[in-house]
A and B are shown apart, each in its own frame.
Chain A
Amino acid sequence: MKHGRYPFILSFLALPVGLYAWLVILPFAQAFQISLTDWSGSSNSFDYIGFDNYVNLFKDERFVLPALRHTGIILVVLPVATIALGLFFAFMLNLGGRSRQGRIEGVAGSRFHKVVYFFPQVLSVAIVGILWKQVYAPENFGGLITGTLSAIGLPSPVNGFLADKRFVLAAVIGVLVWSAVGFYLVFFSSAMASIPRDIYEAAIIDGAGRFQMFFKITLPLLWDSVQTAWIYLSIVALDVFVLVYLMTPEQGGPDTASEVVGGVIWKYAFKHGEQAFASAIGVVLFFAALSLAVVSLRFGRREQIEY
């Protein structure tokens, strides 16, 4: 079995590694290189200008600074809201109820809720965008929320929620949480399934209520999963753009009120023809993602518990 080993390895790796290197690694490497030039993207000539793009991007008050601020907000709100809701739902749907035998299980209707909550996860972002754009639409376009508000006699923004600077970012984050919660519900559910039920039964016998069960047993034992979820959601938060592109006016508006980092890269690269500048923003985004992952892995570690 020793013979033919290396030809075999080579024949199996050549295509996947080659394709990956050519279409993933190389473009990323080129982006780093481009970020140090003044290349517009269309001409054939460019000069190396060092880190000027990086210096300039922190002075760009038109797009980059608002985008950094908004992405920062999403980076905090999206993981916190999604994880809190995901944990709460997972707990209620798996452990929140008591059957007649004193057995621990989900509250009534758990299976139904789980199937429903997860559904947005399989919808394409285009469908989600179209759906919610109409939900948030102004009243004279038949928006669901504005229509409902006026039906019960409450005021609503005249141009709908997405054309209003005060609401647009919150509206986008709401959709992000809406589609992500189901995934983390299922994710936390399977982590909860591996916690032995004896622990809960012992706690119940000792008189623990659901609050105590959640905060003293479930949460500490799920810490690793929470941390993984945090990293995933951070990466999602940094990559937010398609929903902004599909839903908001001027694809980041009104008046940059929903501008995000991904969108700014898009605009500079494909609309304003400032490829080098766009790449520099992308590189900053890359290091932000990297350091987030490193930091949360480093400082989030807790002792492992084997059941």
Chain B
Amino acid sequence: MATETPVKPPAEAPAKTRASGAPREGAVLNFFSQGFLWLWSLMVIVPVVWIVMSSFKTTREIASAPLALPESFHWQNFANAWTNGHIGAFFLNTLQVMVFSVTGTMLLGAMAAYVLARYQFFGNRIIYFGFAAGMMFPVFLALFPLFKTLGNVGLLNTYTGLIIVYIAYSLPFTVFFLTAFFRTLPTGVAEAAIVDGAGHYRLFFQVMLPMAKPGLIAITIFNIIGQWNQFLLPLVLMGRNPDDAVISQGLANLAMRQGYEGDSGALFAGTVLAMIPIFIAYVLFQRQIQEGLTAGAIK
């Protein structure tokens, strides 16, 4: 976790000190670095705004006048994306998977992390490092054996299969992060609860979990974004029926099909539809999302 030293505003710093540092660097440097900062912002904003703009154009306009504003708002693209492109169905599919996979990841991850952090027993270290090592494995290596494993138990091309795979592949980071978090929690409260007669299970669910809330929230956000954006696993494990696709896979299929049918208006409308919920969530929770995504990196 971040060991942030609270930064004291240097109230006593006198206004005069400013004169010594600033002017020498010159306005040129300032102009250059400010310009570069704005350039990068534009590099993010322009493609996104441009694709939103394109989603209102007819396919012919997209190809012939890429830089122009749409002649009129061609809402038909969105209707096409929703019905022919099944974007709505892909949303529901993804939601259906993630309700279970994120809940499962958090529950199993917290259970394992708690035991590994707070109980000494034979094999503790081995299990902990076993999980931690999983963060380094390139997924490619496991794809085919995993495909076969799920096929053998009849879970290939099922949501149940995808859900348990999401959980298993989210566990390394979740356990690694939460173990560190549970270790930092004070022992005093737990001891008091034990004195009051709480058993192991009550201690976990009623005392430790609520105390671990900040860590749990951060890592939940991390897993939601990670699993929402997952592409490789559904590509391999849910390949048979295109109607069952999750959102990123469905979009990619749409993009591949677009090559033949040439309806780029609907493709961009679909892309914009897929961006909207992420954009809203990002604007509302951008601080929490930034913290959640970078939390694991800062130990």
Residues of A with C-beta under 8 A to B131 = 20
Q: Which of A112, A201, A229, A242 contacts B41 (CB 8 A)?
A: A112
Residues of A with C-beta under 8 A to B45 = 116
Report Cα–Cα, A279/B142, bound state, in Å: 8
Given the known inter-chain contacts A102-B17, A131-B51, please indicate yes or no for A178 contacting B43, CB distance below 8 A.
yes
CB-based contact A125/B229 at 8 Å: yes
| Cβ of B176 to closest chain A Cβ, rounded Å | 12
CB-based contact B149/A186 at 8 Å: no
Given the known inter-chain contacts A6-B121, A120-B44, please indicate yes or no for A17 contacting B278, CB distance below 8 A.
no
What is the 8 Å Cβ interface bit string for chain A, positions 88-108, against chain B (1 contact, 0 not)?
110011001010111100011
Interface residues of A in 270-287 (CB under 8 A from B): 270, 275, 278-279, 282-283, 285-286
Interface residues of B in 1-50 (CB under 8 A from A): 2-5, 7-10, 13-18, 20-22, 24-25, 29, 33-34, 36-38, 40-41, 43-48, 50
A79 at the interface (CB under 8 A from B): no
B213 at the interface (CB under 8 A from A): no
B111 at the interface (CB under 8 A from A): yes
CB-based contact A20/B130 at 8 Å: yes
Residues of B with C-beta under 8 A to A178 = 43-44
Report Cα–Cα, A24/B142, bound state, in Å: 7
CB-based contact B2/A122 at 8 Å: no
B289 at the interface (CB under 8 A from A): yes
Residues of B with C-beta under 8 A to A117 = 40-41, 44
Q: Which of A89, A98, A130 contacts B271 (CB 8 A)?
A: A130
CB-based contact A23/B165 at 8 Å: yes
Q: Which of A13, A22, A140, A205 contacts B115 (CB 8 A)?
A: A13
CB-based contact A124/B144 at 8 Å: no
B119 at the interface (CB under 8 A from A): yes
CB-based contact B139/A135 at 8 Å: no
CB-based contact B63/A119 at 8 Å: no
B207 at the interface (CB under 8 A from A): no
| Cβ of B65 to closest chain A Cβ, rounded Å | 8
| Cβ of A148 to closest chain B Cβ, rounded Å | 7
| Cβ of A213 to closest chain B Cβ, rounded Å | 9
CB-based contact A24/B134 at 8 Å: yes
Report Cα–Cα, A278/B143, bound state, in Å: 10
Residues of A with C-beta under 8 A to B102 = none
Report Cα–Cα, A241/B141, bound state, in Å: 13
| Cβ of B135 to closest chain A Cβ, rounded Å | 8
| Cβ of A81 to closest chain B Cβ, rounded Å | 12
B236 at the interface (CB under 8 A from A): yes
Report Cα–Cα, A27/B137, bound state, in Å: 11
Interface centre among A24, A41, A270, A279 (most CB of B within 10 A): A24
Interface centre among B63, B134, B172, B236 (most CB of A within 10 A): B63
CB-based contact A19/B171 at 8 Å: yes
Report Cα–Cα, A121/B281, bound state, in Å: 13
CB-based contact A131/B231 at 8 Å: no
Residues of A with C-beta under 8 A to B111 = 12-13, 15-16
A253 at the interface (CB under 8 A from B): no
CB-based contact B168/A19 at 8 Å: yes
Q: Which of B36, B67, B149, B171 contacts A20 (CB 8 A)?
A: B171
A307 at the interface (CB under 8 A from B): yes
CB-based contact A187/B297 at 8 Å: yes
- List the 7 shortest-distance A-B pairs measured between CB atoms, nearest first: A282-B141, A142-B66, A27-B145, A23-B168, A126-B248, A124-B229, A27-B142
**Interchain Cβ contacts under 8 Å between A and B, 18 examples:** A6-B121, A19-B164, A19-B167, A19-B168, A26-B145, A102-B18, A109-B38, A118-B289, A141-B264, A183-B293, A191-B298, A194-B3, A204-B20, A208-B21, A239-B138, A265-B141, A283-B141, A285-B138
Query: Which A residues contact B (CB, under 8 angstroms)?
Result: 1, 4-6, 8-9, 12-13, 15-17, 19-20, 22-28, 30-31, 34, 41, 85, 88-89, 92-93, 96, 98, 100-103, 107-109, 112-127, 129-135, 140-144, 147-148, 151, 178, 181-183, 186-187, 190-191, 193-194, 196-198, 201, 204-205, 207-211, 225, 228-229, 232, 235, 238-239, 241-242, 246, 262, 265-266, 269-270, 275, 278-279, 282-283, 285-286, 289-290, 293, 307
